[in-house]
Amino acid sequence: MTKREIPAKISIIKGMGEDYKMDYYQQRLVPGEFLYDQSHLKRLHDADMMNSQYIHSCFCEEYEKNMIEEVLQKRITNGSVPSIFDKPKSDEIQEKTQDYADIFYKGEKLTALETDIERIYISEKLDKHRNYSKHKSFRFKVKWTMSDLNRYQDQVNYRMNDQEFFGTPKPQFIPFDLDQALECMYVHQDIQGTSWLRKKLSYFTDVKTLERGEKRSKLQAHALLQRMLMYIDSWEFVNSMDVPNDFHINHSIANMHIWLVYQRLRDFSENKYAFQLREELMESFNAMTNREMEDVDVLRKAKKIEDIDNYMYAIRRNFDFHFFINGKSVDNPYYKLDALVWSSIFHEKVPRYSEQVYKMSEYMMQHYKYLKSLKFTDIEKANVDWLAYRVPFNYQTKLIRVNPPLSEEEFEREHDSPYKVKKYHYSFRREAELTEENLVKTYVNLCTNAFYHNKEKTIRQENLDLDSMNSEERELMIYNMKRELEEMSELPI
């Protein structure tokens, strides 16, 4: 069913009757099939005559206004309420019009097999479109639309408006279910009358690798990465988080999302497929970095790509240290989280105590908690719901309570000081972190692999009883602890 058909189908739904004629009249939009053009909108704006059609011309596509107009001639809105006797009829109209509205944005509901057939068709259509772009042969000429692209990317709301125009602020995806795709493959083979020999060959070449294997993990990692990158480029994320248009910042934001998924996959320490998926995810991210840099015309490109990969790795190590090693930040992850985000994500390119820093810090914290609630099956189906609106309205309160900002005078004084590491930088070498109690906690976390695998710690805090040591042993132990922390800090921040 095309979008043009939907307003006509809504119009033939029987309305509430003559008793609600005045309500329908009040709800009527300015009629007209086509939306105002830009020059007409400018004249209306200058004359201060912004009616409902003006608003819909700004935010709707061509047939969306007609769909809304027809819906408002069937539903009762605008502050009016149908009587209790007419409520069943009103509910029926509400359900029917909502079904058509869902078809308008998301298409008709399809079975798994129908979806798979449509996916094959869209893939072949894309191949033709690419061949036409390359060879300019008319036998490859097809009409490739934004809806086709969205459908190819497995978006649920593939008929949405362009994201720049507030239609739907973020892409929504169907689960990346390879098991369902394998079931559909068997049906396709039965329909095509595939020979038993070809079925046997496909079992060893496709089925075994897609059931559990490296190929399956690569496909899942690619889907996870692509859907994550599309979200952080969406209207919702960019505008809600006020992200600057900067390559280093955007790449570090992607790196943060990769780390969030990676650390959750580490929790499934006994699952070898989780280990395989997280390594493939990291490989996909590094490969994406290489592809993006291939088009950049710089000297010593390979060295710069290697530097970026090493820097992103160092940032992920900083995240590990904050959430899993440092005693104070393990107890309370909000401790110096804003300084970590300012240094590792924004790279000190925005003001230290700006709202962008606090908002991104809370975003990271909220998704760190959210991902802990996901199962492995959710992640392997790329069913991760990234959502900027998880950040509460009082996002600054928790961070400021734990990390009071410096006053302007203190900040200027610290900024002009000769010290390389300032108070407002992310550092774990302050007096609060170098107490004996915190050193023992940090050392216990540092000397084990408990933050990589959910296993019992090999060094226990009770075995590091500093009070039972003489002064020389105690001094040596504290020195060794500090030295190992120093080695951790040698990675760039």
Q: Which two tokens stand for residue 350?
A: 């925005």
Q: Is residue 51 part of a domain?
A: yes
Model confidence pLDDT, tens digit, residues 117-150:
888 889 999 999 988 888 888 888 888 887 888 8
Question: What count of other Cβ atoms lies within 10 Å of the Cβ of residue 174?
Answer: 15
Mean pLDDT, rounded, for 295-322? 84
CA torsion through residues 391, 362, 345, 422, sign? positive
Model confidence pLDDT, tens digit, residues 437-451:
777 777 777 766 544
Asked if the model's pLDDT at residue 164 lies above 80, the reply is no
3 and 159 Cβ atoms separated by less than 8 Å: yes
What own/partner pairs with CB < 8 Å and gap ≥ 24 does 271-279 have? 271/376, 273/212, 273/217, 273/376, 273/380, 274/376, 276/214, 276/217, 277/217, 277/220, 277/221, 277/379, 277/380, 279/217
Q: Is residue 183 part of a domain?
A: no
Share of the chain above pLDDT 90, in %: 21
Report the alpha-carbon distance of residue 393 to residue 293 in Å, rounded. Answer: 37
String of DSSP letters for 138-171: GGG-----HHHHHHHTTBTTTTPPPGGGTS-SS-
Q: Is residue 181 part of a domain?
A: no
Model confidence pLDDT, tens digit, residues 388-435:
989 998 889 889 999 899 888 888 888 888 877 778 888 777 777 777
What does DSSP assign to residue 173? B
pLDDT: which is higher, 26 or 219 = 219
- 178: helix, coil or strand? helix
Asked if the model's pLDDT at residue 290 lies above 70, the reply is yes
Report the alpha-carbon distance of residue 286 to residue 288 in Å, rounded. Answer: 5
What does DSSP assign to residue 284? H
Report the alpha-carbon distance of residue 464 to residue 322 in Å, rounded. Answer: 22
Q: Is residue 80 part of a domain?
A: yes
Could you give the number of structural domains in the chain? Answer: 1
Q: Is residue 476 part of a domain?
A: no
Banded pLDDT at 490 (limits 50, 70, 90): very low
Asked if the model's pLDDT at residue 182 lies above 70, the reply is yes
82 and 16 Cβ atoms separated by less than 8 Å: yes
Q: Which domain holds residue 46?
A: 5-106
Mean pLDDT, rounded, for 86-113? 88
HSE toward the beta carbon, residue 222, CA cutoff 13 A = 9
Model confidence pLDDT, tens digit, residues 26-81:
777 666 556 778 888 888 888 888 777 777 777 777 667 788 888 888 888 867 78
Alpha helix positions (H), 403-464: 408-415, 436-446
pLDDT, position 370: 94
Report the alpha-carbon distance of residue 419 to residue 427 in Å, rounded. Answer: 13
Report the alpha-carbon distance of residue 252 to residue 312 in Å, rounded. Answer: 7
Q: Measuring CA to CA, which residue among 437, 407, 441, 439 is closest to residue 424?
A: 407
Report the alpha-carbon distance of residue 187 to residue 205 in Å, rounded. Answer: 17
pLDDT, position 458: 47
The residues that bridge with 173 in the sheet, in sequence order, are: 155
Q: Is residue 161 part of a domain?
A: no
């900040």: which residue's tokens?
411
300 Ramachandran zone, left/alpha/beta (phi>0; psi -120 to 50): left
Distance of CA 98 to the CA centre of its chain: 28
- Least confident range of 50-54, 482-486, 487-491: 487-491
CA distances from 352 to 81, 156, 453 (A): 52, 39, 34
pLDDT, position 368: 94
Report the alpha-carbon distance of residue 443 to residue 460 in Å, rounded. Answer: 10
Amino acid at position 155, single letter:
Q
């710069």: which residue's tokens?
304
Q: Is residue 50 part of a domain?
A: yes
Mean pLDDT, rounded, for 339-361? 92
Amino acid at position 303, single letter:
K
Q: Is residue 470 part of a domain?
A: no
pLDDT, position 158: 74
Asked if the model's pLDDT at residue 278 lies above 80, the reply is yes
The residues that bridge with 155 in the sheet, in sequence order, are: 173
Enter the pTM of the model.
0.77
10 and 70 Cβ atoms separated by less than 8 Å: yes
At CA 468, angle to CA 465 and CA 474, rounded to 5? Answer: 80
Collect all residues with Cβ–Cβ distance below 8 Å to 165 and sequence separation of at least 6: 59
What does DSSP assign to residue 421? S
346 Ramachandran zone, left/alpha/beta (phi>0; psi -120 to 50): alpha
Banded pLDDT at 212 (limits 50, 70, 90): confident
Question: What count of other Cβ atoms lies within 10 Å of the Cβ of residue 116?
Answer: 18
